[in-house]
Structure 1
Amino acid sequence: MPSHNLYALFRNAFGKHLERTAIQTDDGARYSFADLDQQSARMACWLESLGVAPGERVVVQVEKSVPALIFYLACLRAGVVYVPLNTAYQAAELSYFLESAEPRLFVVDPAKAQALGELAARLNVPHVATLGADGQGTLIDAAQSQGTDHAIRDVPADAVAAILYTSGTTGRSKGAQLTHRNLSSNAQTLHALWGWEPGDVLIHALPIFHVHGLFVAVHCALLNASTMLWMSKFKPQQALEWFAQATVFMGVPTLYVRLLQEAALTPERCAHMRLFISGSAPLLVDTFREWQERTGHTILERYGMSETSMLTSNPYHEADGPRIAGTVGRPLPGVELRCMNQEQHPCAVGEVGGIEVRGPNVFPGYWRMPEATAKEFTSDGWFRTGDVGQVDANGYVTIVGRSKDLIITGGYNVYPAEVESYLNEIDGVVESAVIGCPHRDFGEGVVAVVVPQPGARLNAEHLIEAVKAQIAGFKVPKRLFFVKELPRNVMGKVQKKALRETYAHIFDGQ
């Protein structure tokens, strides 16, 4: 009977290609699939020597490196729950995560070892190890003393493989539990849907504490026994050089914007590439179109989240339909998606509503938060994503925004993405963010924050008038501000909570 362990799925895929290069780094180092297998075995043996049992948690906050990825594989094969944390989190946030996860082991950057070691001691974390961006640390030293004879733990399909803590923009961060079944089903679906082929080479330019970089990119490559060209940090010039030997690139919109700033980005430079994928944040229509014009390639945009991995994708094969700018495509095979109105009735075609999903990739619930889990699932088993969107007659999904970003002004609903789409079409506008701020008369007033193109002479009143001619009056921004750039998280998502805090008092006294 086959093992349900996700690592066993990968091992079966690359087991016939152990001498093939699995990872080539930007500094020239090479790791074969045999290296990944043997080094992850040593690390798994070390975990077991510490007494870390299947189902127990290991919290990791380290810089991106190949050994850090191998340690993730070691946790999988040992049946240990992997809990990656954003490297930007500070002590107060880390204290919460450690108290919540109750890990047996905390892996940290050597430069932070003393302070985080003291924090771990206060919170009764039994073990602390270090792992640096250079791949060195006490974890590596300890693992080298172990053998490579490690039997992959057979775990139930519904055993938790990883816990991803949400960003916590609306309250306490919640730990989304992802099972071996969740992750394996999503990997196999994406591998088939995106047409992975023998000889495909992936440029890995993303962080590995997030769904996109750790699960989507890495899992697809491992399942295809593909070489990964590995960037510790994104460098546009390096990506352009690698296009000649790679076939697949996955990035957030920010990476595509940075590549478009390079004069060397041409159709000839991209001739060897098969597929460009974008996700984790909305891709501007202008970026989508400019990429087509500059490279001859059409970006494939998809949609997912921490609790579900990937949910939808624009088509890969032309026969399945076009890739449409501004949409995230259709639900993946095996994934059901519906939009529900405020009365919890299904939306008509094109009607905006709350997006709900179910499928083998959808997580079973939040770590030790039964109330939050119950709140986010319907009585018939659908997960409320918190996103607002619509589905057209061809089944394509368009994300309108987050439900928490919905603006209610004078009793009317305003979806920020709609207003942003009109602002972004105005000459001289790079991008915009629309938010609601407290207003004495209307409850919330619509506010726009706009990034102008360098050298553009834009006038706030003129922009407001331009929008007023196209949409209902209650949707028109009452105030508009210009900024050099919008606040974003590491994956490129605009942080509207930060904007709401910045402009919270602009209507005071009105």
Structure 2
Amino acid sequence: MKTLGLTETDPFWAFGRLPDRVNIARYLPEMAAKCPDRPAIIVARGPKADWPCISYGELEERSNAIAHGLLRRMDISGKRVCLFVRPGIDLIAVTYALFKAGAIPVIADPGMGRERLLAVIEKMRPEVFIGIPLANAVRRVFRKSFASVRLAVTVGPRFLAFGPTLEGLIRENRQAGTFTCRDTSADDEAAILFTSGSTGPPKGVTYTHGMFDAQVRALHALYGFRPGEVDLACLPLFALFNTALEMTSVFPELDPSHPAKCDPARIVAAIQETEATTSFGSPAIWRRVVPWCLEHDVRLKTLERVLIAGAPVPPDLIESFLNILPVRGDVYTPYGATEALPVSSISGREIVPALTDKIRGGWGTPIGRPAPGIDLKLIEITDDAIEDWREDLEVEQGEQGEVCVRGPVVTQEYEEDPAATQLAKIRAEGTSPAWHRMGDIAYFDADGLLWFCGRKAHLLATSEGLRTPVPTENVFNVHPRVHRTALVGAGVPGEETPVLVVEPVAGALPHTKAERDRFDSELAKLGRRVHIASDVDTFLYHPGFPVDVRHNAKIDREELKRWAEEQLA
């Protein structure tokens, strides 16, 4: 049995050992045999009568045909496959086919920008490309970046295809029968998932089959998913876990690159029509859906569990959400990253109302306690690489430090990026897995609760030392005309002045000096109530914060810092 360097006393064993031989795709044939007629995927787009739906039995047949078809064209085992497929049936069927065949999907956000995306592809050197017609057209225009591609498959109409189509592969291989999953080990590479690039260049994170399997176990242990549940898949890749968790995936009408622009009425319709019981999505989605529900007096009666991740979730959103859920329902805010998920978790009913005053009083944002199997330490803050783990790296309880984690859901390297790996990983003793530096600053309170204070990259370097932004921001975020804030440093590092950049709620942006002065005065009064925010006396008003492409919720603080310095100059 694979132990990943953990001992029998580690909490990981609370949800089972990790087998030596594992392929994450094995869950699909198991589900197809167990409940072939149960809906696996529903695509809730357009009129309900036109919603595509596929059962587990049909999904298994479709993925088998794709795997057979790809292997008949080329031996894709161990090869990197660039995927640009819209969320839905084809994305899941293709991804499972690749896992079955031992291929390695490379998945990046198209919204990261053309130059970054082309650089990522050129660096990864994929040998197979599977994408919609537009993506294939881009491949043909920018041939240099895709020079490594030997097989290209179009997911779409034949008349728009460049080479074979996905439907053609399925049609030609539908009678090929069962496809036996490649015999992969827990340590075999399963996929390369790219970070969003919200605090630097996007990095390719190496996922193994064992890590995917451990994530399934950890999510089940944390949230108690039950067979037969229905998940509103607002984070498309999370739908891959739904098969292993014996759930139905519902893809709503949602642009994954712009979740903040979703139509709340369509999201609610998808929940109600499919009787969704759970969902995982960005705060940007629920900031639109929850107010719409309150305005239209709608209760999401079937929704028992909502996971919100991607950025700190304010207590007012949690409180409002709880008001439209059933009594048994709850909101959870799992903490983690592409490199490690889940790391910790906390429920909305733990936060509201017990921790609301602390959040608004400058404590930071509570992110719970370590998830099953996670070893979590806080270390002294430094930008330098740390080669080997030492006990004296740890900070005292109550002191802010960088979050470091290890465990079966924690990645061990960045693909083709040894420099980034060196900065982010700390070698542990013996055969134990490396520690991953999350790049986040947090502290443990006296009750063992972890409080998030901000990203290391977003620290203010003031004359009094380093300062985290989130605790101060939470003080000002309670203002009724404030949508969100960002504390940035203006000036020379080491002598930076704290500046609060404010994004007002819709219609509240001050345009005249009198309006700005009144807003300034109200914010300054709020700040004076809490020591940590009492020195903030410079306020700037921004019409709409720049945000990350994946969640539309992580603030691009570097851009805001540049903007603030320009305004002050």
Residue 326 of structure 2 corresponds to residue 278 of structure 1: no
- TM-aligned CA deviation for residue 441 of structure 1: 8.6
Residue 551 of structure 2 corresponds to residue 499 of structure 1: no
1:270 counterpart SS class:
coil
- TM-aligned CA deviation for residue 154 of structure 1: 1.0
CA separation in 2, counterparts of 1:44 and 1:322? 51
Cα 1:220–1:316 shift into 2, 3 Å:
farther
Cα 1:293–1:505 shift into 2, 3 Å:
same
CA separation in 1, counterparts of 2:295 and 2:61? 39
Cα 1:506–1:133 shift into 2, 3 Å:
farther
Aligned equivalent of 1:19, options 20, 37, 40 = 37
CA separation in 1, counterparts of 2:243 and 2:67? 18
1:283 counterpart SS class:
coil
Cα 1:473–1:236 shift into 2, 3 Å:
closer
Give matches, 1:422-433, under 5 Å: 422-433=475-486
Residue 539 of structure 2 corresponds to residue 480 of structure 1: yes
Q: Would the aligned equivalents of 1:194 and 1:316 in 2 still touch at CA under 8 Å?
A: no
Q: Which runs of 5+ in 1 are unaligned?
A: 209-213
Partner of 1:328: 367
Give matches, 1:359-378, under 5 Å: 359-378=407-426
Give matches, 1:434-445, under 5 Å: 434-437=487-490, 439-440=491-492, 443-445=495-497
Q: Would the aligned equivalents of 2:41 and 2:53 in 1 still touch at CA under 8 Å?
A: yes
Cα 1:124–1:333 shift into 2, 3 Å:
closer
Q: Would the aligned equivalents of 1:410 and 1:442 in 2 still touch at CA under 8 Å?
A: yes
- TM-aligned CA deviation for residue 446 of structure 1: 1.7
**Which amino acid in structure 2 is aligned with residue 44 of structure 1?**
A
Partner of 1:241: 269
Paired residue total: 497
Partner of 2:60: 37
Cα 1:46–1:322 shift into 2, 3 Å:
farther
Residue 188 of structure 2 corresponds to residue 166 of structure 1: no
CA separation in 1, counterparts of 2:144 and 2:527? 59
Give matches, 1:117-196, under 5 Å: 117-120=140-143, 123-132=147-156, 138-146=165-173, 147-196=176-225
Greater Cα shift, 493-502 or 38-47: 493-502
- TM-aligned CA deviation for residue 104 of structure 1: 0.7
CA separation in 1, counterparts of 2:305 and 2:283? 15
Cα 1:322–1:462 shift into 2, 3 Å:
closer
- TM-aligned CA deviation for residue 301 of structure 1: 0.9
**Which amino acid in structure 2 is aligned with residue 226 of structure 1?**
M
CA separation in 1, counterparts of 2:126 and 2:222? 36
Cα 1:125–1:480 shift into 2, 3 Å:
same
Partner of 1:355: 403
Q: Would the aligned equivalents of 2:402 and 2:440 in 1 still touch at CA under 8 Å?
A: yes
Cα 1:421–1:48 shift into 2, 3 Å:
same
1:329 counterpart SS class:
strand
Q: Would the aligned equivalents of 2:465 and 2:494 in 1 still touch at CA under 8 Å?
A: no
- TM-aligned CA deviation for residue 235 of structure 1: 3.7
Cα 1:378–1:31 shift into 2, 3 Å:
same
2:393 counterpart SS class:
coil
CA separation in 2, counterparts of 1:483 and 1:95? 31
Cα 1:140–1:396 shift into 2, 3 Å:
farther
Cα 1:268–1:133 shift into 2, 3 Å:
farther
- TM-aligned CA deviation for residue 506 of structure 1: 4.1
- TM-aligned CA deviation for residue 268 of structure 1: 6.8
Aligned-residue identity in percent: 24
Q: Would the aligned equivalents of 1:201 and 1:247 in 2 still touch at CA under 8 Å?
A: yes
CA separation in 2, counterparts of 1:49 and 1:420? 56
1:351 counterpart SS class:
coil
CA separation in 2, counterparts of 1:498 and 1:441? 16
- TM-aligned CA deviation for residue 218 of structure 1: 1.6
CA separation in 1, counterparts of 2:349 and 2:493? 51
CA separation in 1, counterparts of 2:133 and 2:506? 41
2:367 counterpart SS class:
coil
Aligned equivalent of 1:258, options 281, 288, 302 = 288
- TM-aligned CA deviation for residue 474 of structure 1: 8.6
Greater Cα shift, 52-61 or 76-85: 52-61
Aligned equivalent of 2:378, options 327, 330, 339 = 339
Cα 1:145–1:284 shift into 2, 3 Å:
same
- TM-aligned CA deviation for residue 501 of structure 1: 3.0
2:139 counterpart SS class:
helix
Q: Would the aligned equivalents of 2:23 and 2:209 in 1 still touch at CA under 8 Å?
A: yes
1:505 counterpart SS class:
helix
Residue 226 of structure 2 corresponds to residue 197 of structure 1: yes
Partner of 1:446: 498
Aligned equivalent of 1:103, options 126, 146, 154 = 126
**Which amino acid in structure 2 is aligned with residue 82 of structure 1?**
P
Q: Would the aligned equivalents of 2:501 and 2:564 in 1 still touch at CA under 8 Å?
A: no
Deviation per CA, 1:386-429: give whole Å up to 9, x if none: 01111223332221111000111114221110110111123322
Greater Cα shift, 119-128 or 480-489: 119-128
Aligned equivalent of 1:226, options 228, 231, 247 = 247
Deviation per CA, 1:238-284: give whole Å up to 9, x if none: 33234441211222111111112214678873222211111122111
**Which amino acid in structure 1 is aligned with residue 148 of structure 2?**
N
Partner of 1:211: none
CA separation in 2, counterparts of 1:461 and 1:38? 62
Aligned equivalent of 1:401, options 440, 444, 454 = 454
2:122 counterpart SS class:
helix
- TM-aligned CA deviation for residue 14 of structure 1: 4.9
Partner of 2:257: none
CA separation in 2, counterparts of 1:113 and 1:220? 28
Deviation per CA, 1:456-504: give whole Å up to 9, x if none: 5663531452254145589734532112322222312222122123234
Q: TM-score, normalised by structure 1?
A: 0.89
Q: TM-score, normalised by structure 2?
A: 0.80
Q: Would the aligned equivalents of 1:13 and 1:224 in 2 still touch at CA under 8 Å?
A: no
1:193 counterpart SS class:
helix
CA separation in 1, counterparts of 2:500 and 2:28? 47
- TM-aligned CA deviation for residue 323 of structure 1: 8.8
Cα 1:14–1:479 shift into 2, 3 Å:
farther
Greater Cα shift, 412-421 or 345-354: 345-354
Greater Cα shift, 187-196 or 355-364: 187-196
Greater Cα shift, 343-352 or 138-147: 343-352
**Which amino acid in structure 1 is aligned with residue 191 of structure 2?**
A
CA separation in 1, counterparts of 2:229 and 2:342? 21
CA separation in 1, counterparts of 2:263 and 2:89? 17
CA separation in 1, counterparts of 2:197 and 2:90? 29
Higher relative contact order (CA 8 A, sep 6+): 2
1:327 counterpart SS class:
strand
CA separation in 2, counterparts of 1:114 and 1:24? 28
2:566 counterpart SS class:
coil
